[in-house]
Amino acid sequence: MQAGCDYQFAGGFVLGVQGDYAWADAEGSHDSTREVGVAYHSKVKSLARITGRLGYAWGRFLGYLKGGGAWEHDDYWATTIILGTAYTARETRSAWTIGVGGEYAFTNVVSAFVEYNYFDFGTRQVAFTPQVVGLEPAFVDVKETKSVVRAGLNFRFGG
Give the CATH number for residue 39: 2.40.160
Residue-by-residue pLDDT tens, the chain, 159 positions: 899 999 999 999 999 999 999 999 999 999 988 889 999 999 999 999 999 999 999 999 999 999 999 999 999 999 999 999 999 999 999 999 999 999 999 999 999 999 999 999 999 999 999 999 999 999 999 999 999 999 999 998 875
Say how many domains are in the chain: 1
Which residue range is the domain that position 72 belongs to? 2-155
Helix (H, G, I), strand (E, B) or coil at 36: coil
Model confidence pTM above 0.95: no
CA separation for the pair 78, 32 (Å, rounded): 9
